[in-house]
């Protein structure tokens, strides 16, 4: 059928949605009756804590939440965000000027490019990294320059090389704990980032989606804990992973005042307000008991350990991640990540995400999500190892 109108240039610039194809492929195998262990997505499998659900239920019953809320979000939620950062990271924020409520972390990551990038501008992104950084940059008509993350550098970017190559970059996206590599960093990288950002007109955007998930007693640090970070950057925090609220679409940005004001202005035009009952439930998440947050990280660590133990039992050596709920598995030589993921699903019924979907430097890896029971993860590890052994000679 002939289209009514041609798509706008910005729509035609959009990259293909990597995870949509993976989801369709997995669903097709499940509908065939196959026993598929789906470790390819980042959708938390554990329920939202009961006290947060109860807070939503109570708020929904209040007619005041049925009306439009304030454009900038409830003042009480912005105060809760500030209190959360004071409690967790020792960072004191002004809830009025340094906190913006978001319709999920992804929205904020895409919006910041619309706010600051013009046609031809440059944004630096990690490679491999979250695919939707590219989405926002492409919509803006800007250019994405990649910062390779390689194991020899512990999956940290070479900042001097990146900025020497792109001295006029306006935005720099960072993400630690890192999706997909699982790497965690200490203050030294963030301190270097701040020094470099302060010497030029550049905004740092730290995607802190996996803030609560650090393993082996590692506590992931906030970018804003570093002196000077609030003057040159923002941090985007989502409740999706910390509180298993992925479908609730609630997050917030904190940090540099002008960037926070710009996000609020963008929201004034693009949205009205997040459903107030969800905002009240988010307050309960941030200010309420945190026991289940810590318990959930322990569950992910046990799952991680079970998965890598099962690989080791089959003779496959791989380094466990320090954070997130993902494993970043190196592949045997001679096979692409797309071919590996496709054949593994077809022949062994295990779905993983091809590393090249996260960028050029993701080639040679696949991402595995620890989002199933320990026994299923061990079964998946055995199937993966068996496939590698059976095909080690091509």
Scored b (16 or more CB within 10 A) or e, 255-274 reads bbeebbebbbebbeeeeebb
The closest alpha carbon to 131, from 360, 296, 340, belongs to 360
Helices and strands (H, E) in the chain, number of each type: 15, 12
Three-class SS state of 214: strand
Contact 126, 146 (CB under 8 A): yes
Scored b (16 or more CB within 10 A) or e, 347-362 reads ebbbbbbbbbbbbebb
The closest alpha carbon to 133, from 116, 154, 111, belongs to 111
Beta pairing partners, 147: 126
pLDDT at 19 over 90: no
Confidence of residue 1 (pLDDT cuts 50, 70, 90): low
Walk me through the domains of the chain, giving residue ranges and CATH numbers.
9-48+291-390 (3.90.1150.10), 50-287 (3.40.640.10)
- Cα 333 from Cα 325, distance rounded (Å): 25
Q: What is the mean pLDDT of residues 385-392?
A: 89
- Cα 368 from Cα 304, distance rounded (Å): 10
Three-class SS state of 347: helix
Helix (H) or strand (E) holding 368: strand 365-369
**CA neighbours within 13 Å on the CB side: how many for 255?**
28
Q: pLDDT at position 68, please?
A: 87
* Measured CA distances, 372 to 21, 268, 319, 375, 377 (Å): 21, 39, 20, 8, 6
Q: How many CB atoms lie within 10 A of CB 217?
A: 6
pLDDT digits (tens, 9 = 90+) for 302-339: 999 999 999 999 999 999 999 999 999 999 989 999 99
Tokens standing for 307? 């998965």
Scored b (16 or more CB within 10 A) or e, 304-321 reads bbbbbebbeeeebebebb
pLDDT digits (tens, 9 = 90+) for 65-118: 998 888 899 999 999 999 999 999 999 999 999 999 999 999 999 999 999 999
Contact 308, 345 (CB under 8 A): no
pLDDT digits (tens, 9 = 90+) for 183-223: 999 999 999 999 999 999 899 999 999 999 999 999 999 99
pLDDT at 394 over 60: no
DSSP code string of 270-318: H-S---HHHHHHHHHHHHS--HHHHHHHHHHHHHHHHHHHHHHHTT---
């Amino acid at each position: 059928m002939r289209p009514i109108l041609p798509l706008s240039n910005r729509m035609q610039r959009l990259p293909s949605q990597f995870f949509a194809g993976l989801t369709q492929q997995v669903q097709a195998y499940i509908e065939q009756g196959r026993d598929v262990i789906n470790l390819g997505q980042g959708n938390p499998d554990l329920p939202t804590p009961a006290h947060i659900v109860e807070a939503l239920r109570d708020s929904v019953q209040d007619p005041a939440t049925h009306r439009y809320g304030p454009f900038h979000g409830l003042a009480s939620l912005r105060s809760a965000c500030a209190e959360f950062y004071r409690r967790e990271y020792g960072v004191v924020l002004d809830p009025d000027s340094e906190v913006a409520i978001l319709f999920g972390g992804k929205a904020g990551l895409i919006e910041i490019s619309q706010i600051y990038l013009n046609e031809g501008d440059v944004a630096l992104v990690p490679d491999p990294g979250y695919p939707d950084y590219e989405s926002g940059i492409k919509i803006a008509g800007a250019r994405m320059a990649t910062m390779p993350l390689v194991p020899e550098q512990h999956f940290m970017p070479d900042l001097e090389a990146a900025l020497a190559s792109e001295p006029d970059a306006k935005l720099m996206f960072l993400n630690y704990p890192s999706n997909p590599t699982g790497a965690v960093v200490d203050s030294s990288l963030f301190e270097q980032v701040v020094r470099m950002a302060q010497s030029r007109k550049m905004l740092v955007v730290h995607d802190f989606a996996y803030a609560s998930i650090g393993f082996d007693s590692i506590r992931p640090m906030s970018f804003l804990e570093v002196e000077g970070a609030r003057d040159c950057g923002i941090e985007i925090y989502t409740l999706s992973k910390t509180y298993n609220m992925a479908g609730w679409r609630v997050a917030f940005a904190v940090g540099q005042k002008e960037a926070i004001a710009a996000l609020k202005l963008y929201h004034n035009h693009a949205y009205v307000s997040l459903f107030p009952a969800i905002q009240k439930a988010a307050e309960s998440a941030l200010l309420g008991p945190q026991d289940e947050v810590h318990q959930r990280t322990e569950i992910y660590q046990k799952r991680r350990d079970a998965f890598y133990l099962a690989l080791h039992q089959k003779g496959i050596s791989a380094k466990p991640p320090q954070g997130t709920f993902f494993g970043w598995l190196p592949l045997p030589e001679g096979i692409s990540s797309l071919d590996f993921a496709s054949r593994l699903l077809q022949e062994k019924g295990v779905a993983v995400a091809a590393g090249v979907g996260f960028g050029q430097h993701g080639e040679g890896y696949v991402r595995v999500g620890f989002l199933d029971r320990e026994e299923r993860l061990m079964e998946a590890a055995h199937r993966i190892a068996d496939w590698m052994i059976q095909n080690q000679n091509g």
